[in-house]
Amino acid sequence: MKLAIVGATGLVGKVMLQVLSERKFPHSDLILVASEKSLGKKIIYNNKSHSVISLKSALDLAPNIALFSAGRETSLKWAPMFAEKGCTVIDNSSTWRMDPSKKLIIPEINANILASKDKIISNPNCSTIQLLITIAPLHVNYGIKRLVISTYQSITGTGVKAVRQLENELNGKKGEMAYPHPIHKNAIPHCDSFQENGYTKEEMKLVNETHKILNDYKIGITATAVRIPVIGGHSESVNITLKKNASVDEIKNVLNNSEGLVIKDSPENNSYPMPINSEGSDNVYVGRIRKDFSKPNSFNLWIVSDNLRKGAATNSIQIAEFLIEKELV
C-alpha cells in the first residue's frame, strides 16, 4: 500500500500525518509531496525521516491512494493524472465536489455508495461535514424541510497566511494580510469570494453539498458564514425545521446514538460545545438543543468541530480506511 500526501507541508497535510500515525493507517510506503519551495525538506513521521518530493516524482512512484490537500489548481491538473495511473485520489479541495460524476463522501453517512471504479473521491467542505454528521440522522428519522445556518469559522480554514495575520496583529506587527480587514477582535462576514447572488462560495457550499450528500434537493437552505479570530475549530448555529413531529428528547435520543457525534448539552452547568474544547478531537459536538417557539416543528442546534481534523484530514483518512476495508483499492 503506497500512500501519497499531496500538500504535506500545509496545515491540513501536517494534521493528516498526525491522524495517520494515531490511527495506525496501514501502508508500506509514504510519499510526501509539496510545492517546489519545499522540495527536499525533511519531515519526521513515526521516527523516520522522509524527503518531500515533486508531484511528477510522486506520479512516477504510482501510489495506490493519494490524499490531496494542495488547493484547487493542483487538484484540477494532477488528480486526473494520478487517477489515470490507477491511483485513488481523495481530494480535499472544492474542485470535484459538485461534479456529478464524482462522489462526495462522509463515511458515516454515504460511504456505501463507493465502488472500485471511483478514482477521484471528494471530501466535503469542513463546515458541511460537521453540519451533516449532526443533521443526517434527523433527516433519516424525521425528514428536513428547512435549514438556516450561521457559521463562526476558525482562521485555520483559510490557512497559514491567516494564522500569521492574527499572530502579527496580536503582536502589533505589520505583515501580509489574508483578509481585507483585521481579524483580531473582529468578525468578518466574508468567507471565500462573493457570488452574483450575494452569497459567498462558502455559504453556497453548505447549500449545494448538503443537497448532494443527502440526495434531497427539496430542502430549503440558507446560510451566512463568518470568520472569527479562533484557532480551535468551526462553530455553527443551525435552525432546523422537520417534516415530522419530534420532541427535544426524541431528537437527543437520535443524536446520542449517531456515529461520530457527541452531545454536550448541560447549560445549567455551563456545559456546551466550544471550539477551544474541540481542538484535537475527531468528534462533532452538538448542544444548546432547544425548541424554536416561533415556528412549528423547528429546533435550534449549536454544532462545533475541529475543522482541520474531522473537517478535513480525518474524514479523508476515514474514506481511505473504508476503501481498504472493502477492498476497493
- Please list the active-site residues: 126, 234
Number of other CB atoms surrounding residue 86 within 10 Å: 11
For 164, the enclosing helix (H) or strand (E) is: helix 160-170
Cβ partners under 8 Å of residue 278, min gap 6: 232, 233, 285, 304, 305, 306
Helix axes 11-22, 314-325, angle to 10 degrees: 50
Residue 160 DSSP class: H
| Grid cell for residue 76 | 484540477
Q: What are phi and psi of 30, to 5 degrees?
A: -115, 120
Beta bridge partners of 236: 151, 303
DSSP state of 153: E
Secondary structure of residue 205 in the 3-state scheme = helix
DSSP annotation string for 87-146:
PEEEE-SSTTTT-TTSEE--HHHHGGG--TT--EEEPPPHHHHHHHHHHHHHHHHH-EEE
The DSSP code for 220 is E
Distance CA 302, CA 237 (A): 5
